[in-house]
Amino acid sequence: MYHHVKKLMYTVNIGTPDPAFGNMLLEQFGGANGELAAAMQYTVQGWNCEDPARKDLLMDIGTEELSHLEIIGALTRMHMKPLKTSREAAESDPMVTIAGGGGVNLFNSVGDAWTANYLKVTGDLYVDLHSNIAAEARAKIVYERLISFTDDPGSKEALQFLMTREITHMRAFASALESMGKPAFTVGTIAPTPNLVDQYFDGSTGSGEEGENTTGPWNNGQAGLKVVASDMAGRR
């Protein structure tokens, strides 16, 4: 059961509205790595989760992300306000202007409708926690980019708040994953095939405009993986 209080988790103030920046902010309102995506991914995982402790974690963070959605929405509305009356501003997002009257909606900066295809929900808790750590890393870098594209102090502060929270979440999910006590790389219950699992296939070779063939810890044996000669060599 949910309850809403008409207070933002973080108070937003901006200087001069910047409509094109408002359009960019939509990435975190209705975009692929935005707050609704985070809220829904963790909440749906939480509802499906049968581990009571981590279920609480998923619901705690899933709910916080809804409050983030409200914050980024408020910030976006402030920057997009000129779309209601200015033709020039309107061109920065014609759909928001004409169809939406200048308000926010669950579309990204290029007008793509939010879709559940953004979510990663497998119903396997160990896997889902991996997906969540990655999701938080993505949200963090997106907020960092938004911060770098505005000079408005109030906007920067609000985005800094939201960005910081994603690192908190990343740490919480990593802790929940680690505390499951599973050996690394033991996803599910069926063991991978021995030997085959240690072979590194060298699918891309040569050198040119697109790089060169190299080695690193992932294929020099340090990680237990060794390059095998590509099966393609003799077949052509």
Question: Angle, nearest 10°, between helix axes 19-30 and 125-148?
Answer: 180
Q: Which is nearer to Ca ion, 60 or 124 (CB)?
A: 60
Q: Which is nearer to Ca ion, 87 or 236 (CB)?
A: 236
CA 225, CA 36: separation in Å to the nearest integer? 39
Binding test (CB under 5 A) with Mn ion, winner from 26, 66, 68, 133: 68
Binding test (CB under 5 A) with Mn ion, winner from 166, 172, 173, 177: 166
Task: Output the smallest distance, CB 209 to a copy of itself, in A.
Answer: 5
Q: Which residue is nearest to Ca ion (CB)?
A: 110
Is there binding between residue 102 and a copy of itself (CB under 8 A)? yes
Q: In whole angstroms, how far apart are CA 123 and each of 42, 48, 117?
A: 11, 7, 15
Binding test (CB under 5 A) with Mn ion, winner from 108, 163, 169, 177: 169
Is there binding between residue 54 and Mn ion (CB under 5 A)? no
Is there binding between residue 8 and a copy of itself (CB under 8 A)? yes
Q: Which is nearer to Mn ion, 86 or 124 (CB)?
A: 124
Task: Output the smallest distance, CB 227 to Ca ion, in A.
Answer: 8
- Number of C-beta neighbours around residue 144 at 10 A: 13
CA 56, 58, 59, 60 torsion: positive or negative? Answer: positive
| Contact set for a copy of itself, span 175-214 (CB under 8 A) | 175-176, 178-179, 184-185, 187-190, 192-193, 196-214
End-to-end CA separation in angstroms for the chain: 62
Binding test (CB under 8 A) with a copy of itself, winner from 44, 152, 153, 182: 44
CA dihedral 216→220→221→227, nearest 10 degrees, is: 120
Task: Say which entry of Mn ion, Ca ion, a copy of itself, none residue 154 contacts (CB below 5 to 8 A, set by partner kind).
Answer: none
- Number of C-beta neighbours around residue 81 at 10 A: 17
Provide the token pair at 107. 């579309």
Comparing C-alpha atoms, which of 102, 177, 80, 198 is closest to residue 132?
A: 177
CA atoms within 13 A on the CB side of 22: 30
**Count, residues near a copy of itself per rule CB under 8 A:** 152
Is there binding between residue 5 and a copy of itself (CB under 8 A)? yes
